A = this chain, B = another copy of it.
Protein backbone atom coordinates (compact mmCIF):
# COMPACT_ATOMS: atom_id res chain seq x y z
CA UNK A 1 0.00 0.00 0.00
CA UNK A 2 0.97 3.57 -0.73
CA UNK A 3 2.05 5.50 2.38
CA UNK A 4 -0.97 7.74 1.90
CA UNK A 5 -3.33 4.83 2.36
CA UNK A 6 -4.64 3.66 5.72
CA UNK A 7 -7.33 1.39 7.12
CA UNK A 8 -10.12 3.67 5.85
CA UNK A 9 -9.12 2.85 2.26
CA UNK A 10 -9.23 -0.94 2.64
CA UNK A 11 -11.33 -2.13 -0.32
CA UNK A 12 -12.58 -5.05 1.75
CA UNK A 13 -14.34 -2.81 4.28
CA UNK A 14 -18.12 -3.05 4.33
CA UNK A 15 -20.77 -1.19 6.32
CA UNK A 16 -23.68 -2.42 8.41
CA UNK A 17 -25.70 -0.16 6.14
CA UNK A 18 -26.53 -2.45 3.24
CA UNK A 19 -26.93 0.30 0.64
CA UNK A 20 -23.31 1.33 1.21
CA UNK A 21 -22.08 -2.04 0.00
CA UNK A 22 -23.88 -2.10 -3.36
CA UNK A 23 -21.52 -2.16 -6.32
CA UNK A 24 -21.47 0.88 -8.57
CA UNK A 25 -22.92 3.41 -6.15
CA UNK A 26 -21.07 6.56 -5.20
CA UNK A 27 -20.84 6.42 -1.42
CA UNK A 28 -19.22 3.26 -0.03
CA UNK A 29 -17.59 3.39 3.40
CA UNK A 30 -14.26 4.26 1.77
CA UNK A 31 -15.63 7.58 0.51
CA UNK A 32 -17.35 9.54 3.30
CA UNK A 33 -17.73 12.91 1.55
CA UNK A 34 -19.08 15.99 3.33
CA UNK A 35 -22.06 18.21 2.55
CA UNK A 36 -24.42 20.62 4.30
CA UNK A 37 -28.07 19.57 4.32
CA UNK A 38 -31.45 19.50 6.05
CA UNK A 39 -34.69 17.63 5.51
CA UNK A 40 -36.30 19.05 2.36
CA UNK A 41 -39.05 21.57 2.98
CA UNK A 42 -38.37 21.67 6.71
CA UNK A 43 -37.33 24.68 8.73
CA UNK A 44 -34.52 22.72 10.36
CA UNK A 45 -31.10 24.31 10.56
CA UNK A 46 -28.67 23.29 7.89
CA UNK A 47 -25.78 21.20 9.27
CA UNK A 48 -22.96 19.00 8.11
CA UNK A 49 -23.55 15.50 6.82
CA UNK A 50 -21.51 12.61 5.47
CA UNK A 51 -22.81 10.37 2.69
CA UNK A 52 -22.95 6.63 3.26
CA UNK A 53 -24.84 4.50 0.73
CA UNK A 54 -28.24 6.08 0.21
CA UNK A 55 -28.18 7.85 3.59
CA UNK A 56 -26.60 10.87 5.19
CA UNK A 57 -25.00 10.73 8.63
CA UNK A 58 -26.42 13.81 10.36
CA UNK A 59 -23.29 15.19 11.98
CA UNK A 60 -25.17 17.56 14.29
CA UNK A 61 -27.21 14.65 15.62
CA UNK A 62 -24.08 12.54 15.92
CA UNK A 63 -22.33 15.34 17.81
CA UNK A 64 -25.28 15.64 20.16
CA UNK A 65 -25.09 11.88 20.76
CA UNK A 66 -21.55 12.34 22.02
CA UNK A 67 -20.24 9.28 20.23
CA UNK A 68 -16.64 10.29 19.50
CA UNK A 69 -13.74 11.41 21.65
CA UNK A 70 -10.64 13.56 21.33
CA UNK A 71 -9.77 15.24 18.03
CA UNK A 72 -12.62 13.48 16.21
CA UNK A 73 -15.14 14.88 18.70
CA UNK A 74 -13.78 18.41 18.23
CA UNK A 75 -13.99 18.00 14.47
CA UNK A 76 -17.49 16.55 14.69
CA UNK A 77 -18.69 19.49 16.79
CA UNK A 78 -17.49 21.89 14.10
CA UNK A 79 -19.57 19.99 11.52
CA UNK A 80 -22.81 20.77 13.36
CA UNK A 81 -22.65 24.33 12.02
CA UNK A 82 -24.66 25.46 8.94
CA UNK A 83 -21.42 25.80 6.94
CA UNK A 84 -18.24 23.74 7.12
CA UNK A 85 -15.77 26.67 7.24
CA UNK A 86 -14.80 26.07 10.87
CA UNK A 87 -14.30 22.36 10.23
CA UNK A 88 -12.24 23.14 7.15
CA UNK A 89 -10.09 25.52 9.19
CA UNK A 90 -9.19 22.75 11.67
CA UNK A 91 -6.84 21.14 9.17
CA UNK A 92 -5.87 17.77 7.87
CA UNK A 93 -5.30 16.01 11.20
CA UNK A 94 -8.80 16.87 12.36
CA UNK A 95 -10.38 15.89 9.02
CA UNK A 96 -8.52 12.59 9.15
CA UNK A 97 -9.42 11.89 12.77
CA UNK A 98 -13.12 12.36 12.02
CA UNK A 99 -12.90 10.21 8.89
CA UNK A 100 -11.30 7.38 10.85
CA UNK A 101 -13.91 7.54 13.61
CA UNK A 102 -16.75 7.61 11.07
CA UNK A 103 -15.22 4.71 9.18
CA UNK A 104 -15.00 2.62 12.33
CA UNK A 105 -18.50 3.54 13.48
CA UNK A 106 -20.05 2.66 10.12
CA UNK A 107 -18.23 -0.65 9.61
CA UNK A 108 -19.92 -3.99 9.62
CA UNK A 109 -19.87 -5.23 13.21
CA UNK A 110 -19.21 -1.82 14.78
CA UNK A 111 -20.45 -1.68 18.38
CA UNK A 112 -21.47 1.92 17.65
CA UNK A 113 -24.00 0.97 14.97
CA UNK A 114 -27.01 1.39 17.24
CA UNK A 115 -25.84 4.86 18.25
CA UNK A 116 -25.32 5.96 14.66
CA UNK A 117 -28.51 4.51 13.12
CA UNK A 118 -30.82 7.17 14.59
CA UNK A 119 -28.58 9.82 13.00
CA UNK A 120 -29.17 8.62 9.43
CA UNK A 121 -31.33 10.63 7.04
CA UNK A 122 -32.30 9.28 3.59
CA UNK A 123 -30.58 11.25 0.85
CA UNK A 124 -33.89 11.31 -0.99
CA UNK A 125 -35.37 13.34 1.88
CA UNK A 126 -32.60 15.94 1.96
CA UNK A 127 -32.06 19.36 0.48
CA UNK A 128 -28.57 20.79 0.31
CA UNK A 129 -26.97 24.17 0.89
CA UNK A 130 -23.55 25.33 -0.21
CA UNK A 131 -21.09 23.37 1.95
CA UNK A 132 -19.23 26.53 2.99
CA UNK A 133 -19.49 30.29 2.97
CA UNK A 134 -17.34 30.94 -0.07
CA UNK A 135 -15.34 34.10 0.60
CA UNK A 136 -13.55 34.20 -2.73
CA UNK A 137 -13.95 32.08 -5.84
CA UNK A 138 -11.12 31.72 -8.34
CA UNK A 139 -11.38 29.92 -11.65
CA UNK A 140 -8.32 28.41 -13.32
CA UNK A 141 -7.75 27.23 -16.88
CA UNK A 142 -5.81 24.04 -16.19
CA UNK A 143 -6.73 21.91 -19.22
CA UNK A 144 -4.36 22.46 -22.10
CA UNK A 145 -6.77 20.56 -24.35
CA UNK A 146 -9.54 23.03 -23.55
CA UNK A 147 -7.23 26.01 -23.96
CA UNK A 148 -6.08 24.64 -27.30
CA UNK A 149 -9.58 23.76 -28.51
CA UNK A 150 -10.87 27.22 -27.68
CA UNK A 151 -7.74 28.93 -28.98
CA UNK A 152 -8.16 27.18 -32.35
CA UNK A 153 -11.57 28.76 -32.78
CA UNK A 154 -10.02 32.23 -32.53
CA UNK A 155 -6.44 31.68 -33.72
CA UNK A 156 -6.22 28.54 -35.92
CA UNK A 157 -2.47 28.93 -36.51
CA UNK A 158 -1.50 29.85 -32.98
CA UNK A 159 -4.06 28.38 -30.62
CA UNK A 160 -2.09 28.42 -27.38
CA UNK A 161 -0.89 31.71 -25.91
CA UNK A 162 2.83 31.90 -24.99
CA UNK A 163 2.19 32.03 -21.24
CA UNK A 164 0.05 28.90 -21.05
CA UNK A 165 2.79 26.34 -20.40
CA UNK A 166 4.41 28.54 -17.73
CA UNK A 167 1.58 30.16 -15.81
CA UNK A 168 -1.37 28.35 -14.21
CA UNK A 169 -3.76 30.92 -15.67
CA UNK A 170 -6.56 31.91 -13.32
CA UNK A 171 -8.97 34.74 -12.69
CA UNK A 172 -11.43 35.77 -10.04
CA UNK A 173 -15.04 34.69 -10.31
CA UNK A 174 -18.22 35.75 -8.55
CA UNK A 175 -18.82 34.05 -5.19
CA UNK A 176 -22.41 35.21 -4.64
CA UNK A 177 -23.90 33.43 -7.64
CA UNK A 178 -22.53 29.99 -6.80
CA UNK A 179 -25.36 27.58 -6.10
CA UNK A 180 -25.62 23.97 -5.14
CA UNK A 181 -26.85 21.17 -7.39
CA UNK A 182 -30.46 21.77 -8.38
CA UNK A 183 -29.77 25.38 -9.27
CA UNK A 184 -32.15 26.76 -11.90
CA UNK A 185 -31.28 30.09 -13.43
CA UNK A 186 -32.60 32.47 -16.03
CA UNK A 187 -30.86 32.63 -19.35
CA UNK A 188 -28.70 35.75 -18.98
CA UNK A 189 -29.27 38.90 -21.01
CA UNK A 190 -26.46 41.09 -22.16
CA UNK A 191 -24.66 42.92 -24.92
CA UNK A 192 -23.48 40.93 -27.90
CA UNK A 193 -21.87 41.95 -31.16
CA UNK A 194 -23.12 39.96 -34.13
CA UNK A 195 -20.56 39.21 -36.89
CA UNK A 196 -20.54 42.14 -39.30
CA UNK A 197 -22.85 44.27 -37.19
CA UNK A 198 -22.10 47.96 -36.76
CA UNK A 199 -23.08 48.14 -33.14
CA UNK A 200 -23.90 45.71 -30.35
CA UNK A 201 -27.39 44.63 -29.46
CA UNK A 202 -29.00 43.69 -26.18
CA UNK A 203 -30.97 40.54 -25.43
CA UNK A 204 -30.89 36.98 -24.12
CA UNK A 205 -27.67 35.09 -24.79
CA UNK A 206 -27.94 32.84 -27.84
CA UNK A 207 -24.77 30.88 -27.09
CA UNK A 208 -25.28 29.59 -23.58
CA UNK A 209 -22.90 26.83 -22.56
CA UNK A 210 -21.77 24.70 -19.62
CA UNK A 211 -18.20 24.04 -18.52
CA UNK A 212 -17.27 20.79 -16.78
CA UNK A 213 -14.85 21.60 -13.97
CA UNK A 214 -13.49 20.23 -10.73
CA UNK A 215 -14.00 22.46 -7.68
CA UNK A 216 -11.29 22.67 -5.02
CA UNK A 217 -12.29 23.71 -1.49
CA UNK A 218 -9.56 25.33 0.58
CA UNK A 219 -9.27 24.00 4.14
CA UNK A 220 -6.68 25.87 6.15
CA UNK A 221 -5.75 29.16 4.54
CA UNK A 222 -2.65 31.30 4.66
CA UNK A 223 -2.20 34.82 6.04
CA UNK A 224 -1.97 37.70 3.56
CA UNK A 225 1.70 38.17 2.70
CA UNK A 226 2.65 34.51 3.10
CA UNK A 227 2.77 31.82 0.45
CA UNK A 228 2.05 28.09 0.40
CA UNK A 229 4.94 25.93 -0.80
CA UNK A 230 4.16 23.26 -3.39
CA UNK A 231 4.77 20.28 -1.16
CA UNK A 232 2.48 21.72 1.52
CA UNK A 233 -0.23 22.83 -0.86
CA UNK A 234 -2.43 19.75 -0.61
CA UNK A 235 -2.53 20.06 3.16
CA UNK A 236 -4.46 23.27 2.57
CA UNK A 237 -7.04 21.52 0.39
CA UNK A 238 -10.10 20.11 2.12
CA UNK A 239 -11.48 18.28 -0.87
CA UNK A 240 -12.86 18.31 -4.38
CA UNK A 241 -16.33 18.63 -5.90
CA UNK A 242 -17.92 18.99 -9.33
CA UNK A 243 -18.43 22.46 -10.77
CA UNK A 244 -20.38 23.77 -13.73
CA UNK A 245 -19.12 27.18 -14.84
CA UNK A 246 -22.11 28.21 -16.98
CA UNK A 247 -20.93 30.55 -19.72
CA UNK A 248 -22.60 32.87 -22.22
CA UNK A 249 -20.20 32.69 -25.16
CA UNK A 250 -21.65 35.58 -27.13
CA UNK A 251 -21.55 37.93 -24.14
CA UNK A 252 -18.04 36.69 -23.36
CA UNK A 253 -16.70 37.29 -26.85
CA UNK A 254 -17.79 40.93 -26.79
CA UNK A 255 -16.88 41.86 -23.22
CA UNK A 256 -13.74 39.91 -22.35
CA UNK A 257 -11.01 42.18 -23.69
CA UNK A 258 -8.90 43.34 -21.98
CA UNK A 259 -9.90 42.31 -18.44
CA UNK A 260 -11.40 38.85 -18.87
CA UNK A 261 -14.87 37.28 -18.58
CA UNK A 262 -17.40 39.07 -16.37
CA UNK A 263 -21.16 39.01 -17.07
CA UNK A 264 -20.60 35.98 -19.31
CA UNK A 265 -19.92 33.91 -16.20
CA UNK A 266 -21.24 35.53 -13.05
CA UNK A 267 -24.96 34.81 -13.43
CA UNK A 268 -24.67 31.24 -12.10
CA UNK A 269 -22.12 28.59 -11.12
CA UNK A 270 -23.34 25.21 -9.90
CA UNK A 271 -21.43 22.81 -7.63
CA UNK A 272 -22.21 19.32 -6.39
CA UNK A 273 -23.27 19.15 -2.74
CA UNK A 274 -20.65 16.57 -1.77
CA UNK A 275 -17.00 17.39 -1.16
CA UNK A 276 -14.80 14.32 -1.52
CA UNK A 277 -11.72 14.67 0.69
CA UNK A 278 -8.23 14.30 -0.72
CA UNK A 279 -7.78 11.46 1.76
CA UNK A 280 -10.62 9.51 0.15
CA UNK A 281 -9.02 10.13 -3.26
CA UNK A 282 -5.59 8.81 -2.23
CA UNK A 283 -6.01 5.44 -4.06
CA UNK A 284 -6.59 7.36 -7.29
CA UNK A 285 -3.47 9.46 -7.29
CA UNK A 286 -1.41 9.18 -10.43
CA UNK A 287 1.79 10.68 -11.73
CA UNK A 288 1.72 14.29 -12.80
CA UNK A 289 3.45 14.31 -16.16
CA UNK A 290 4.11 16.74 -18.92
CA UNK A 291 5.29 16.07 -22.48
CA UNK A 292 9.11 16.07 -22.57
CA UNK A 293 9.08 18.59 -25.38
CA UNK A 294 7.18 21.07 -23.18
CA UNK A 295 8.97 23.47 -20.84
CA UNK A 296 9.15 22.12 -17.34
CA UNK A 297 7.65 24.29 -14.59
CA UNK A 298 9.61 26.98 -12.77
CA UNK A 299 11.08 25.67 -9.48
CA UNK A 300 8.25 26.96 -7.27
CA UNK A 301 5.83 24.80 -9.28
CA UNK A 302 7.90 21.60 -9.40
CA UNK A 303 8.67 18.78 -6.95
CA UNK A 304 9.35 15.05 -6.87
CA UNK A 305 6.14 14.48 -4.91
CA UNK A 306 4.17 16.27 -7.59
CA UNK A 307 5.64 14.07 -10.30
CA UNK A 308 5.06 10.89 -8.33
CA UNK A 309 1.45 11.42 -7.29
CA UNK A 310 0.31 14.96 -8.01
CA UNK A 311 -2.61 14.15 -10.32
CA UNK A 312 -5.98 12.52 -9.63
CA UNK A 313 -7.66 10.06 -11.96
CA UNK A 314 -11.24 11.25 -11.60
CA UNK A 315 -13.71 10.33 -14.35
CA UNK A 316 -15.82 13.31 -15.35
CA UNK A 317 -19.03 13.12 -17.35
CA UNK A 318 -21.53 15.60 -18.77
CA UNK A 319 -25.13 14.54 -19.35
CA UNK A 320 -27.97 16.44 -20.99
CA UNK A 321 -31.72 16.08 -20.69
CA UNK A 322 -33.72 18.41 -22.91
CA UNK A 323 -37.19 19.60 -22.05
CA UNK A 324 -38.59 17.31 -24.76
CA UNK A 325 -36.69 14.31 -23.39
CA UNK A 326 -38.07 15.04 -19.97
CA UNK A 327 -41.62 15.45 -21.32
CA UNK A 328 -41.40 12.22 -23.29
CA UNK A 329 -39.86 10.29 -20.41
CA UNK A 330 -36.53 9.77 -22.14
CA UNK A 331 -33.39 9.38 -20.09
CA UNK A 332 -30.60 11.93 -20.23
CA UNK A 333 -27.83 11.39 -22.74
CA UNK A 334 -24.10 11.58 -22.13
CA UNK A 335 -22.32 14.33 -24.08
CA UNK A 336 -18.74 13.71 -23.05
CA UNK A 337 -16.39 11.89 -20.71
CA UNK A 338 -12.82 12.57 -19.67
CA UNK A 339 -10.49 12.33 -16.67
CA UNK A 340 -9.11 15.00 -14.37
CA UNK A 341 -5.72 13.30 -14.83
CA UNK A 342 -5.33 15.20 -18.12
CA UNK A 343 -5.12 18.56 -16.30
CA UNK A 344 -1.96 20.36 -17.35
CA UNK A 345 -1.69 22.02 -13.93
CA UNK A 346 -2.22 20.09 -10.70
CA UNK A 347 -4.33 21.00 -7.68
CA UNK A 348 -1.15 21.73 -5.73
CA UNK A 349 0.26 23.94 -8.47
CA UNK A 350 -2.94 25.98 -8.59
CA UNK A 351 -2.89 26.53 -4.82
CA UNK A 352 0.81 27.40 -4.74
CA UNK A 353 0.63 29.72 -7.71
CA UNK A 354 -2.40 31.50 -6.20
CA UNK A 355 -0.41 32.41 -3.08
CA UNK A 356 3.06 33.01 -4.53
CA UNK A 357 2.45 36.77 -4.58
CA UNK A 358 1.28 36.78 -0.97
CA UNK A 359 -2.44 36.45 -1.71
CA UNK A 360 -4.17 34.98 1.34
CA UNK A 361 -6.57 32.07 0.96
CA UNK A 362 -9.27 31.43 3.55
CA UNK A 363 -11.11 28.31 4.72
CA UNK A 364 -14.03 27.70 2.38
CA UNK A 365 -12.54 29.52 -0.59
CA UNK A 366 -13.32 27.74 -3.82
CA UNK A 367 -11.04 27.24 -6.81
CA UNK A 368 -12.34 25.93 -10.12
CA UNK A 369 -9.99 23.89 -12.29
CA UNK A 370 -11.22 25.44 -15.51
CA UNK A 371 -13.02 23.41 -18.15
CA UNK A 372 -11.68 19.87 -18.20
CA UNK A 373 -11.28 18.56 -21.72
CA UNK A 374 -9.29 15.45 -22.58
CA UNK A 375 -7.08 14.80 -25.59
CA UNK A 376 -9.82 13.25 -27.80
CA UNK A 377 -12.55 15.26 -29.52
CA UNK A 378 -15.33 13.53 -27.54
CA UNK A 379 -13.62 14.40 -24.27
CA UNK A 380 -14.41 18.11 -24.51
CA UNK A 381 -15.93 19.75 -21.44
CA UNK A 382 -18.08 22.34 -23.20
CA UNK A 383 -20.54 22.62 -26.07
CA UNK A 384 -18.39 25.35 -27.61
CA UNK A 385 -15.78 22.67 -28.23
CA UNK A 386 -18.15 19.79 -29.05
CA UNK A 387 -19.97 21.90 -31.65
CA UNK A 388 -16.80 23.50 -33.06
CA UNK A 389 -17.88 26.95 -32.00
CA UNK A 390 -21.52 26.30 -32.90
CA UNK A 391 -20.76 25.25 -36.48
CA UNK A 392 -21.42 21.50 -36.12
CA UNK A 393 -24.55 20.71 -34.13
CA UNK A 394 -24.62 17.65 -31.90
CA UNK A 395 -27.42 15.31 -32.89
CA UNK A 396 -29.00 13.77 -29.81
CA UNK A 397 -30.51 10.24 -29.69
CA UNK A 398 -34.04 11.61 -30.15
CA UNK A 399 -33.06 13.64 -33.19
CA UNK A 400 -32.84 16.99 -31.43
CA UNK A 401 -29.81 19.11 -32.19
CA UNK A 402 -27.72 21.27 -29.91
CA UNK A 403 -25.12 23.87 -30.76
CA UNK A 404 -25.67 25.60 -27.44
CA UNK A 405 -28.11 25.14 -24.56
CA UNK A 406 -31.83 25.70 -25.03
CA UNK A 407 -34.36 26.79 -22.43
CA UNK A 408 -35.43 23.87 -20.27
CA UNK A 409 -32.18 21.95 -20.78
CA UNK A 410 -30.92 20.19 -17.67
CA UNK A 411 -27.16 19.58 -17.51
CA UNK A 412 -25.82 17.02 -15.05
CA UNK A 413 -22.16 16.56 -14.24
CA UNK A 414 -20.99 13.36 -12.63
CA UNK A 415 -17.65 12.25 -11.31
CA UNK A 416 -16.22 9.03 -9.94
CA UNK A 417 -13.00 7.10 -9.46
CA UNK A 418 -12.73 3.42 -10.34
CA UNK A 419 -9.87 0.99 -10.59
CA UNK A 420 -9.17 -2.65 -9.74
CA UNK A 421 -8.20 -3.13 -6.11
CA UNK A 422 -9.90 -0.01 -4.76
CA UNK A 423 -13.45 0.88 -3.77
CA UNK A 424 -15.34 3.14 -6.16
CA UNK A 425 -15.36 6.75 -4.99
CA UNK A 426 -18.22 8.82 -6.39
CA UNK A 427 -18.88 12.56 -6.38
CA UNK A 428 -22.63 12.44 -6.88
CA UNK A 429 -23.87 15.05 -9.31
CA UNK A 430 -24.05 18.75 -10.07
CA UNK A 431 -27.38 19.41 -11.76
CA UNK A 432 -28.56 22.70 -13.20
CA UNK A 433 -31.37 23.85 -15.46
CA UNK A 434 -31.74 26.76 -17.85
CA UNK A 435 -34.95 28.78 -17.52
CA UNK A 436 -36.20 31.24 -20.14
CA UNK A 437 -34.80 34.77 -19.94
CA UNK A 438 -38.31 36.20 -20.07
CA UNK A 439 -38.93 35.39 -16.42
CA UNK A 440 -36.44 37.96 -15.19
CA UNK A 441 -37.66 40.93 -13.24
CA UNK A 442 -36.52 44.21 -11.81
CA UNK A 443 -35.21 44.18 -8.25
CA UNK A 444 -37.35 47.24 -7.53
CA UNK A 445 -40.55 46.24 -9.31
**Which chain A residues have a beta carbon within 8 Å of chain B's beta carbons?**
135-136, 138-139, 141, 161-163, 166-167, 169-177, 179, 185-186, 188-191, 193, 199-202, 221-229, 232, 235-236, 248, 251, 254-263, 266-268, 295, 298-300, 353-362, 365, 439-444
Contacts and interface: CB of A to CB of B under 8 A. Distances in A.
11 contacts: A161-B257, A170-B262, A172-B266, A202-B298, A227-B443, A232-B444, A236-B443, A248-B357, A259-B260, A260-B261, A263-B357
Contacts of A170: 259, 262
Given A235-B444, A257-B163, A176 B224 contact: yes
Nearest to A257: B161
A349 to B, nearest CB: 12
Contact of A228 (B174, B222, B358, B444): B444
B174 A136 contact: yes
Contacts of A255: 163, 167, 169
Interface centre among A223, A236, A259 (most CB of B within 10 A): A259
Main DSSP-derived SS at the A contact region? loop
Nearest to A171: B259
A440 B358 contact: yes
A226 B440 contact: yes
Contacts of A172: 171-174, 262, 266
Nearest to A150: B258
B263 A166 contact: no
Q: How many monomers of this protein are in the complex?
A: 2
A254 B229 CA distance: 22
A89 to B, nearest CB: 13
Contacts of A439: 225
Contacts of A266: 172, 357, 359
A359 B222 contact: no
Contacts of A298: 191, 200-202
Given A298-B191, A358-B185, A443-B226, A258 B260 contact: yes
A330 to B, nearest CB: 28
A229 B443 CA distance: 8
A112 B359 CA distance: 47
A135 B175 contact: yes
Given A188-B357, A226-B441, 18 more contacts: A136-B175, A138-B262, A163-B254, A163-B257, A167-B254, A170-B259, A172-B173, A176-B360, A177-B359, A189-B358, A226-B440, A227-B441, A228-B442, A228-B444, A229-B444, A251-B357, A256-B260, A358-B440
A50 B278 CA distance: 48
A221 B174 CA distance: 15
Contacts of A136: 174-176
B258 A161 contact: yes
A298 to B, nearest CB: 5
A298 B172 CA distance: 27
Nearest to A200: B166
B263 A260 contact: no
Contact of A263 (B173, B299, B353): B353
A168 to B, nearest CB: 9
Contacts of A444: 228-229, 232, 235
A361 B224 CA distance: 25
A66 to B, nearest CB: 33
A221 B177 CA distance: 13
Q: Considering the complex of A and B, which 5 residue pairs feature the smallest CB-CB distances, nearest first?
A: A260-B260, A222-B443, A188-B357, A172-B172, A171-B259
A188 B232 contact: no
Contacts of A299: 202
A103 B21 CA distance: 70
A356 B257 CA distance: 19
A170 B258 CA distance: 9
Contacts of A185: 224-225, 358
A261 B263 contact: no
A357 B442 contact: no
